[in-house]
Structure 1
Amino acid sequence: PDSQPASEPAMVYFEQLKESQDAWEVCAEALAKGIYSDDHVKFFCFQVLEHQIKYRHGGLSPAQQQLIRETLMKWLQLQLMNSQPEKPFIRNKAAQVFALTFVMEYLTHWPKFFYDLLSLVGLNPHGVDVYLRTLMAIDAEVVDRDILHSPEEVRRNTLIKDSMREQVIPSLVESWYQILGTYQQSHPEITCQCLEVVGAYVSWIDLNLIANDRFVNLLLSQMSVEDLREEACECLFEIVNKGMDPTDKTKLVESLCQVLQSAGFFNVEEDVDFLAKFSRLVNGMGQSLVLSWTKLAKGGEVKDAAESLSAIEAKVPLLLQLLVHDDDDISANIVGFCYDYLNVLKQVRYDYLDVLKQAIMLAVMKKLTYDEEYNFDNEGEDEAMFVEYRKQLKMLLDRLAQVSPELLLEAVGRVFNNTVQRWQTASFMEVEVAIRLLYMLGEALPASHGAHFSGDTAKTSALQDMMRTLVSSGLSGYQHTSVSLEFFETVVRYDKFFLVEPQHIPNVLMAFLDHRGLRHSSPKVRSRVAYLFSRFVKTLHKHMNSFIEDILSRIQDLLELAPPENGFPALLTSDDQLFIFETAGVLIVHGESPAERKQALMRSLLTPLIDAFRLLLAKLASEREEERQAALADCLSHAVGFASRTSKAFSNKQTVKQCGCSEVYRDCLQTFLPALSCPVQRGSLRSAVRSFLHRMIICLEEEVLPFVPAASEHMLKDCEAKDLQEFIPLISQITAKFKDQVSPFLQQVFMPLVLAIFEVLCRPAEDNDQAAALEKQMLRRSYFTFIQTITSSGMNQVLANQGVENIERVLFTIIQGAVDFPDPIAQKTCFIVLSKLVELWGGKDGMAGFPDFIYKHIVPACFLAPLKPSFDLTDAQTVLTLSECALTLKMIHLRRGPEFIQYLQQEYLPSLQVSPEITQEVCQVLQQPDAKVLKNYMKAFFQRAKL
C-alpha cells in the first residue's frame, strides 16, 4: 500500500503481525528505510514495535534489542532529511516508542540515549520536535504522579531519575536553553513545546539549573512575545511551585515579581487567555509566599518572616485587580491565594487591614452576581461553571466571616439595605445577590442554626433587621425566577426569625400560596417552593393555628390526583405533591382543634384519594392497552404514596388514635389492599401498597392486624422471587413488633409462605441468567433471615406447631443453607438459627426426636461446611460464619453435655479420619468456658485440615 489509506484486509493483516513472533522485524525495516508513505501504515508499524517493546522486550536477543535501537535512530535520521515533517499523531507515537525503549534500556544497554539523540538532532527543527516530544513521553512514563505504578516500576523509575540527575540533566538543561534561544522567532511552536518540557522537569531536577539569571531572564523575555507568553507563564508557574527552602523561595518569587512589574505585567490590561495563565502564576507566587511565611513564623525566624509578609502584602493590589476581573476564569484562578491571605490576616491583626478586608468583601460580592446571559430555564455548561465558581467565592466569604464577622455583617447589611430600598428599579442580578448574601451569612457566621436570633447581640439585631426588611419590603413580588427562589430559600433558612416576630407569618404564607410561590409561572420555582413550604410549616405550625383551614382550602386544587386522561399539565409534579400532602397532614395533626375536627379534616383530605383509587382500579382491570395500563398504575401508586405521606405528621405525642384518625386510615387500607392481586402492572402497585402497609404497622399499631391475613393472601398469589423477597421484611416487621399477638396468624401463614419460597427457588433458570441467580440468592437470604426472626423473637411455637413433616422440611433447608450454598452471609444466618434451635429444643425437656437430628445433621454441618473448597478462610465474611459455626458446637455441648463429647470422640471425628490426639484437643477446647478460644482453635483446625 503506497499512498492509499490502509484497507480493512490490511488492518487485519497488521493485527496478525502484532501478535506474530518475528514479523515486527518487517515493520522495523519499513520504518528504518521509509518504505511506506501511507500515514496509517507508518503509525501501525510503530504500534507493532511498541507492542514488542512493552510485552516481549525481555524475550528479545541482544541483537534484536540492538535492531530496535538502530531502527529508531535511522527513522529519526530520515526525519532530519525530509522537507515536510510527519503528521503530529505519528510523531507522538514515535516519541512514545522512544520513551518506552529508553525506560527499558537506559540503565543497562543504552546509557548514552540522550547523547545519541542530541548529537544526531543538533538544531534541526524536525529532530528537535521529536526530541522534545520524547522528553514529554519519558515524563509521562517515569514521573507522572497520576499514573499508578507497581512497586517494581516505582523502584525502576527512581533509579532512572537518580541516574539522569547524575549524568545528563545539566546537558538537557543546556539543550533547552539553546532551543529556547534559537527558535523563538522562527518556530514559536517548538519554543512552546520546550517551555512545556522545562515546566514538567523542573519539579524533580536541581532548581538552580533553571532558577538562575540567564535562564529566568530568557523566560521573562518570552513573557513579552505574544505566541510564547502563555507557555512561558505556565513554565514560571511550575518553577514557583517547586518545593524549596522558605527564604530562598521568597527571594526567587520576589526577583520574578520585580522583573514582571517593571515589564508592566502588573497593569492588568491583557487578553483574557493570557491573563487566565497570568492569574494562575500570581496565585502560585502568592500561595508560595504564604507557605514560606507560615513556615518561617512557626520556626520563629522573625526577620525572614517579616520579609515574606511584606512580599505578600505587595501582591495584594494585584490580587484584588485579578479577583474583580470581569472574566470569571481569571478571578477563579486567584481564589486560592485570596483564601490563604485571609488566613494570614486572621493571625496578623493590623487596624488598617480592615480596608483590605472590605476591598476583598466588595470584590466577592461583585463577583457573586449573575451575568445578564445566564440562562435560568436551560442551564448548560457555562451555567454549571458559574455555579462551581460561586462555591469558591462562598469559601472566601466563610473565611472572611472567621477573620472579621462584624465587618462582614456590616458590609452585607450595607449592600442589602441599599439594594432593597430601590428594588423596584434594580436589576434582577443586584436583587438576587443582595438576598443571596443574607442567605450566605447564615452559614458563614458561626452560630448554631436557631441561635441567629437569640441573645442580645449586634449580630442578632442586624440579621433581624435584614429579615424584617426582606419580608416587609414587597420584594417577594419581584418578577424573576432567581429572585423568587432566593427569597423563599432565605425565608426558610431563617425560619427561626418568625418565632421571634410571628406577626410576619401571614404575609409570608400568602407569598408561598399565591403566584409568587406555589402558583409561580416557572415550574422550577413551584417545585422548589413545594418542598420549602413543607419545611416552613414544620417549624412554625404552632403559629398557624388560626389559618389552618384557610391554608387547606387554598391548597385544595394542588392536592388533586391528576388522572392520566385530563390532558391539563398539572401545576406540580407528583413528587412535589408529596410535600403538599405532608404539609396538609402536619397542619391537621398539629393544630389545636379537638379530635373530631381533626378527624373530619383528615377524612376530607383522604376521601378524594380513596374515591379516585376505587374508580381507577376498576378502570385498570378492564383496560387492555399497555401504555394506558402503565399510566393508570402510576396514578394509583401516587394515590397510595400521597396517603402514606400524610401519616408522616404523626408522632409519639400525636398518635393516629389520639387524633381520631384510625378509621380513615383503615378505610385506606381496605381500599388499597385489593390492588395487591390486580393481574396487570403488579410491580409498581405492590410496592406502593407494601410501603403503605409498613407505614400503617407503625401508625395504626395493632389496629392493622385484621388486615394482615388478607394482605398476605393477596401477596402470596402468583409470586416472583422479587415479590417474596419484598414481602418477607413486612412479615418480619410484624413478627418483631407484635410477637405473641400475631402467633396464630403466623402459624397459619408460615407454611404457605415457605412453600411459595420453595416453589420459586426450585424453578429452573437459564445457566447464564445472572440476574435470576442473584434474585434467588437474595430470596434465599431473606428466607433464612425470616426463620431467624421467628426463632429469635421467642416464637418457636410457630415452627413447633407445623407438624413433623413440615418441621423436618424446614430444618433440612437450614442444614442445606449452612452447608451447600457458597454464600457466607446466608450460611452465617443458618448457623445462628441452628444454634437457637439447639438452645430451644436440644435440652432434656426439648422437642422429641430433636437430639437425634442434632447428631445426624447439625454436628456434621458444623464440620462439612468449613471443609468445603468454597469456604474461604481468608474472607472476613466467611470467618464470621465460622464463628457462628463454633458457637453452634458450643451450644450443643451446653445442652447435651458429656454425651456430645463422647459422640465426637467415639463416633463422629474418627469417621472423618481425625487422629486421636487432635480429637482429644477438639473435645478439650469445646469444654472450656471461653468461646473466643474455641473460635480461634476452630479456624486453625480447618486451616490445617484443608492443607
Structure 2
Amino acid sequence: MDEHALLGLNPNADATYRQRALVYFEQLKESQDAWQVCAEALAKGLYSDDHVKFFCFQVLEHQIKFRHAELSAVQQQLIRETLMKWLQSQLSAQPEKAFIRNKAAQVFALAFVTEYLTQWPKFFFDILTVIGLNPRGVDLYLRTLMAIDAEVVDRDILHSSEETRRNTLIKDAMREQCIPSLVESWYQILHNFQQSHFELTCQCLEVVGAYVSWIDLNLIANDRFVNLLLSHMSVEVLREEACDCLFEIVNKGMDPVDKTKLVESLCQVLQSAGFFNVEELVNGMGQALVVSWTKLVKVGDLKSSQETLQAMEAKVPLMLKLLAHEDDDISANIVGFCYDYLHVLKQLPLLTDQQKSNIEAIMVAVMKKLTYDDEYNFENEGEDEAMFVEYRKQLKLLLDRLAQVSPELLLNAVRRVFSTAMQNWQTAPFMEVEVAIRLLYMLGEALPASQGAHFSGDVAKASTLQEMMRMLVTCGVSEYQHTSVTLEFFETVVRYDKFFIVEPQHIPNVLMAFLDHRGLRHDSPKVRSRVAYLLSRYVKTLHKHMNAYIEDILNRIQDLLELSPPENGCMTLLTSDDQLFVFETAGVLIVSSECAADRKRDLMRSLLTPLMERFQLLLGKLLQEQDEERQAALADCLNHAVGFASRTSKAFSNKQTVKQCGCSEVYLDCLHTFMPALSCPVQREVLRSGVRTFLHRMIICLEEEVLPFIPAASERMLKDCEAKDLQEFIPLINQITTKFKGQVSPFLQQVFMPLVQAIFQVLARPAEENDQTAALEKQMLRRSYFAFIQTIISSSSMHEVISNQGVENIEQVLFTVIQGAVDFPDPIAQKTCFTILSKLVELWGGKDGLVGFPDFIYKHIVPACFLAPLKPTFDLSDAQTILTLSECALTLKMIHLKRGPEFIQYLQQEYLPSLQVSPEIIQELCQVLQQPDSKVLKNYIKAFFQRARL
C-alpha cells in the first residue's frame, strides 16, 4: 500500500496528505484488483492504525456495494475469506474501537444481503462456528445482526422496489434455514452473559426486539425465553432493554384475538413475577389491547371485542395508580394508554358505573398532576421546568379527551375544585389556586362549544362557566401574591372576554387589576410584559363597553407611554415591545370612544405630540453624536417613536375612519416630523426602516394625502442605499402603484429609471465569493425588482411608465428581464420574468404595439423561452421550476396569439432548425402551439425539454 497516502488518513494530517489519501482511495475503489491489498491488510492484521483499518473496510465496502457483479468468483471468495479471517483474529486480539466494529458490521451485513441467497447460504453458521461464546466475537455478531436489520427490515429506511423484493426473499429464506438457530444463539448469549457482560446482554435484547416483528413469535413468546427476560427485569442495568424487548413482542403485528391472548398470558407471567407495575409495559400492553379492540369492533366480532375490553378494563386500576404517581416521568409514560382508553369509552353507547368511576378517577389524577410542585423555579426556568411544561401539555390532551367523553362530569369536577380554591384563596398554597384557575382556562378549549356559547345557548354549561367566571373576578384572587396565579388570572379573563359582554358590570374592577400593581405595575417584568399584550386584546373585544372609563384609563397609562430616552439609564416598567401594545390599546380606546371628532383628535394629538417632540430632540442629538454606541441607542429610540405612532393607527381600518375621527391632521404632522430622519447620514438602515413602515401604514390610513410626501421620501431612500434598503423600498412603491394607479403615474415615470439604476448599481457591486448573506440579499433584491416591473405592467394605466422612458432605457429594462429569465438559476425570479414577457407581448406585440417590439420578440423573447429550460440549472423535477416552465409556455402561446402564422413560420424555418431540432419535432411543437387549450401546450413543453436534454 502507498504508505505516504495512508499518512493523509490521520485527521491531523495537512491538506496535501489528505488530498493524496482521497486520490488513493478513489484509485483503490476503481481498480480491478488493487483493492485486494486492503483485503490482505485486514486478513493478516498488517496495520495497527485505526484510521488505516477503517480505510480498508471502506474500500471493501465499495467493492461489495457497487462492483460485486464485476468481481470474479475467486475475488468474491477472497472477500468472504477476508471477513472470516478478520473475525477469527478478533477473538484473541485487543478489542477494536467501536467505530471500526460498526464499520465491520456494516460490511458483513452488505456481504450478507448480496450473497446470502446465492453464494453464502451458510453465512450465519460460519459466523457462529467461529465465535462460539467468545465475548468479542459475540459483540461483532450482534452488531452485524443490527446492521442486517437496518439493510433488510428497518421501515424508517426507504428501499427501492427491487430492494424490497430482495429483502422479502431474504427474510423468507432465513425463516426456513436459520432463524431457529439464531434464536437459540440469542438464548445462549442472554443466559450466559446476564451476570458477566451487561453490555452484550443489552445488545442481544435489542436484537431480539428488532427481529421479533417478522419471525415466528412462538420461538420467543415461550416459557423459557420469557422467564429469562423476567430475570433480566430484576437487574437494574438490564431492566430498560428487557422492557423494550417485551414491548416489541407485544407490538408485533398479528391477529387481534391472538394479540389479546398474548398480552393476557404475558400479564399473568409479569404479575406472578411482581413486574406488572412497570409503566412502559402497562402502557404498551394497554395500547395493544386498544388496537385489537378497535379491529374487532370494525369487523363486528362482538364476543372477542367484549373479551378484549374486559382485558383492557382489568389494567385500568394499575393505569390509574401509575397516572397519579408522584414521579411525573412514570405518570407521563402511561398517558398514551389512558388517552386511548378514553377514546374507547367515547365510542361505547352506554357507560357502566365502573367506567364512569374510572373517568372521574382520571379527572382527579389529571387535576392533581397539573399542579406545580414547590421546587418549580418561576424566575429562572431550566430543563426540569421545561419538562414539566411538556408534561402539562400531555395532561391537557387528556383533559380535552375527558371533555369529549363526558363534558358534564368534567365541568362539575372543575367547578368543585375551582369553588373550593376560590373560597379559600387567602390561605391556600399558590399551586392549588393556580391549578384551579388553570382548569377553568383549559375548559375554554376542552368543552365542545364555541367560546361565545359558553355564556349562552346551553343554559347548564353557560351558567356553570358564568358562575365560575363571576367568582373569579369578584373573590379578590387577583390580589394573590404569586406570579403564576396573577398570570393565570389575566389569561383566563382574556380567554373568556365574552363573559364581560353578558355581565359588563365587572369590567371596571378587571380594568383596575390590569392597570395597577396587579398588572402593568406588577413587581415582575414577566407579568408586566404579558399584561401589556393581554390588555390590548381585552380592550379590542370590549371597547364598546368602556366608553365611560376611556379618559381615566388614558390618564393612568400616561407615564407608560413615555419614550424612554437612551441616556436615562434607569429601568423602565415596560420594554419598547410591551409599549407597542399599550400604544395600540390607547389608539383603540380613542378611536372607538363615543366622543365627538374634535375630542378624539385632541386625545390623539395629546397621545402623539410627546412622541413627535421627543423625536425632534433626539434626531438633533443624533446628528451631533460622534460615539457609535450612542448613535445606535439614539437611532433605536427614534425608531421606537415611529413604531409607537404607527401602532396607534392600527385602530383605523381605512381613510374614512381616520377622517371621521378628525385625526388626519395629527398623522400628517407625524409624517412631517419623521421625514427628516430619512436624510440622516448615520444609522440609515434603522431610521429608514422605521419611517418606511410608517409610510406603509399611512398609505392605508391617509390614502392620497400621503402622495405629496412620496417623491421626497423616495429620493432620500434611494440615496446611498444597500441591497436590503432597496429590497424593502420596492414593496412601498408597489403598494403605491397598486393603490393609486394613474394618480401616481407622473411620479413613477420620474422615479422609475433612478430606481432601476440604483438597483443595478447595487447588483453590480462585487461581493466576496463565499459571502452567502450578500448573495442572498442580491437574489432577494432581484426578485423584488422583477415583482416591481410586474406590478407596473399589470396595471392597465401604468405600463406607459415604461413605454415613455425613451428607447435606450426601455431596452435596458427589457434586457434585464431577459437576463432574469435565462441567466440566474432562481425559478421564482424566472417565473416572474416570463410573466412580464408574456404581458409585454400582450401589450406591445400586436400590429399597433410598440415600435420595434416585434423584432425584440424574435431576437430575444423567443430564444429566452428555449434557452432557459435547456440550461443544466433548470431542474425539471422541481415543482417551482415547473411553474416557471408553465409561464414560459404561456409566453409562447401569447406570441402566437399576437403574431399568428408569422410566428409559426419563424419557428419552422429559422429558429428551431438553428437549434438542430428535427423537422418532425418542429412540426409537432408548432401543431401543439396552434391548439386553443394551454394545458396541452404546458404538458407538451415539459416532455419536449426532457427529450431535448437527453
TM-score, scaled relative to structure 2 = 0.90
Which whole-Å CA distance do the structure 2 matches of 1:26 and 1:746 have between them?
Answer: 74
Q: Which residue of 2 aligns with 1:743?
A: 745
**Pair 1:201 & 2:211 matched:** yes
Which whole-Å CA distance do the structure 1 matches of 2:569 and 2:805 have between them?
Answer: 55
Q: Which residue of 2 aligns with 1:577?
A: 579
Superposition deviation, residue 228 in structure 1:
3.9
Cα deviation, 1:363-414, whole Å, max 9, x if unaligned, reads: 1111111121111122121111111111111111111101000000011111
Which whole-Å CA distance do the structure 1 matches of 2:815 and 2:187 have between them?
Answer: 82
Which whole-Å CA distance do the structure 2 matches of 1:365 and 1:613 have between them?
Answer: 52
Stretch deviating more after TM superposition (777-786 or 193-202): 777-786
| Shift in CA distance, 256/543, structure 1 to aligned 2, threshold 3 Å | same
Q: Which residue of 2 aligns with 1:866?
A: 865
Stretch deviating more after TM superposition (733-742 or 181-190): 181-190
| Shift in CA distance, 699/170, structure 1 to aligned 2, threshold 3 Å | same
**Pair 1:327 & 2:330 matched:** no
Paired residue type of 1:47? F
Q: Which residue of 2 aligns with 1:404?
A: 406
Superposition deviation, residue 507 in structure 1:
1.0
Q: Which residue of 2 aligns with 1:641?
A: 643
Cα deviation, 1:862-908, whole Å, max 9, x if unaligned, reads: 32113324284836555555555555565556556677777778887
**Pair 1:137 & 2:140 matched:** no
| Shift in CA distance, 863/262, structure 1 to aligned 2, threshold 3 Å | same
Which whole-Å CA distance do the structure 1 matches of 2:8 and 2:847 have between them?
Answer: 81
* Contact 2:591/2:661, CA 8 A, preserved across alignment: yes
Alignment of 1:153-552 (within 5 A): 153-226=163-236, 228-266=238-276, 268=277, 278-348=278-348, 349-352=350-353, 353-552=355-554
Q: Which residue of 1 aligns with 2:127?
A: 117
Cα deviation, 1:460-519, whole Å, max 9, x if unaligned, reads: 111111111111111111111111111111111001111111111111111111111111
Stretch deviating more after TM superposition (863-872 or 767-776): 767-776
Which whole-Å CA distance do the structure 1 matches of 2:131 and 2:913 have between them?
Answer: 81
Which whole-Å CA distance do the structure 1 matches of 2:608 and 2:485 have between them?
Answer: 35
* Contact 2:38/2:60, CA 8 A, preserved across alignment: no
Q: Which residue of 2 aligns with 1:272?
A: none
**1:54 equivalent among 57, 61, 78:** 61
Q: Which residue of 1 aligns with 2:684?
A: 682
| Shift in CA distance, 809/571, structure 1 to aligned 2, threshold 3 Å | same
Which whole-Å CA distance do the structure 2 matches of 1:942 and 1:60 have between them?
Answer: 39
Q: Number of residue pairs matched?
A: 923
* Contact 1:819/1:861, CA 8 A, preserved across alignment: no
* Contact 1:123/1:179, CA 8 A, preserved across alignment: yes
Superposition deviation, residue 97 in structure 1:
4.6
Which consecutive residues of structure 2, in runs of 5 or more, have no partner in the other structure?
1-5
Alignment of 1:74-85 (within 5 A): 74-81=85-92
Superposition deviation, residue 597 in structure 1:
0.8
Cα deviation, 1:171-219, whole Å, max 9, x if unaligned, reads: 1112222333334445454434332322221112111111123322333
Paired residue type of 2:57? E
Paired residue type of 1:577? Q
Which whole-Å CA distance do the structure 2 matches of 1:370 and 1:660 have between them?
Answer: 51
Q: Which residue of 1 aligns with 2:802?
A: 799
Superposition deviation, residue 326 in structure 1:
1.0
Paired residue type of 1:122? G
Which whole-Å CA distance do the structure 2 matches of 1:388 and 1:358 have between them?
Answer: 23
Paired residue type of 1:421? Q
* Contact 1:364/1:393, CA 8 A, preserved across alignment: yes
| Shift in CA distance, 79/548, structure 1 to aligned 2, threshold 3 Å | same
Which whole-Å CA distance do the structure 2 matches of 1:837 and 1:89 have between them?
Answer: 62
* Contact 2:38/2:59, CA 8 A, preserved across alignment: no
Which whole-Å CA distance do the structure 1 matches of 2:134 and 2:910 have between them?
Answer: 90
* Contact 1:873/1:943, CA 8 A, preserved across alignment: no
Superposition deviation, residue 931 in structure 1:
4.8
Which consecutive residues of structure 1, in runs of 5 or more, have no partner in the other structure?
1-5, 269-277
Cα deviation, 1:42-69, whole Å, max 9, x if unaligned, reads: x445413321222123366655554554
Paired residue type of 1:549? E
Superposition deviation, residue 822 in structure 1:
5.4
Stretch deviating more after TM superposition (344-353 or 497-506): 344-353
| Shift in CA distance, 925/386, structure 1 to aligned 2, threshold 3 Å | closer
Cα deviation, 1:6-28, whole Å, max 9, x if unaligned, reads: 99997758967866738976776
* Contact 2:9/2:51, CA 8 A, preserved across alignment: no
Q: CA RMSD in A?
A: 3.3
Paired residue type of 1:798? V
Superposition deviation, residue 541 in structure 1:
0.9
| Shift in CA distance, 346/835, structure 1 to aligned 2, threshold 3 Å | closer
| Shift in CA distance, 144/807, structure 1 to aligned 2, threshold 3 Å | closer
* Contact 2:54/2:100, CA 8 A, preserved across alignment: no
| Shift in CA distance, 177/454, structure 1 to aligned 2, threshold 3 Å | same
Which whole-Å CA distance do the structure 2 matches of 1:897 and 1:137 have between them?
Answer: 64
Give the secondary structure class of the aligned counterpart of 1:568. Answer: coil
Which whole-Å CA distance do the structure 1 matches of 2:40 and 2:931 have between them?
Answer: 78
TM-score, scaled relative to structure 1 = 0.90
Which whole-Å CA distance do the structure 2 matches of 1:610 and 1:333 have between them?
Answer: 58
Which whole-Å CA distance do the structure 1 matches of 2:393 and 2:614 have between them?
Answer: 46
| Shift in CA distance, 213/9, structure 1 to aligned 2, threshold 3 Å | closer
Paired residue type of 2:552? D
Superposition deviation, residue 750 in structure 1:
2.6
Superposition deviation, residue 329 in structure 1:
1.2
Superposition deviation, residue 603 in structure 1:
0.6
Stretch deviating more after TM superposition (502-511 or 792-801): 792-801
Which whole-Å CA distance do the structure 2 matches of 1:263 and 1:916 have between them?
Answer: 84
Q: In percent, how many aligned pairs have the same letter? A: 78
* Contact 1:842/1:892, CA 8 A, preserved across alignment: yes
Which whole-Å CA distance do the structure 1 matches of 2:599 and 2:425 have between them?
Answer: 44
Paired residue type of 1:527? S
Paired residue type of 2:871? S
Which whole-Å CA distance do the structure 2 matches of 1:78 and 1:926 have between them?
Answer: 71
| Shift in CA distance, 284/612, structure 1 to aligned 2, threshold 3 Å | same
| Shift in CA distance, 892/864, structure 1 to aligned 2, threshold 3 Å | closer
| Shift in CA distance, 52/396, structure 1 to aligned 2, threshold 3 Å | same
Q: Which residue of 2 aligns with 1:271?
A: none
Q: Which residue of 2 aligns with 1:855?
A: 854
Which whole-Å CA distance do the structure 2 matches of 1:899 and 1:310 have between them?
Answer: 82
Q: Which residue of 1 aligns with 2:3?
A: none
Superposition deviation, residue 35 in structure 1:
7.0
* Contact 2:533/2:581, CA 8 A, preserved across alignment: yes
Paired residue type of 1:282? V
* Contact 1:862/1:885, CA 8 A, preserved across alignment: no
Superposition deviation, residue 114 in structure 1:
1.5
**Pair 1:598 & 2:600 matched:** yes
**Pair 1:670 & 2:677 matched:** no
Give the secondary structure class of the aligned counterpart of 2:720. Answer: coil
Paired residue type of 1:144? D
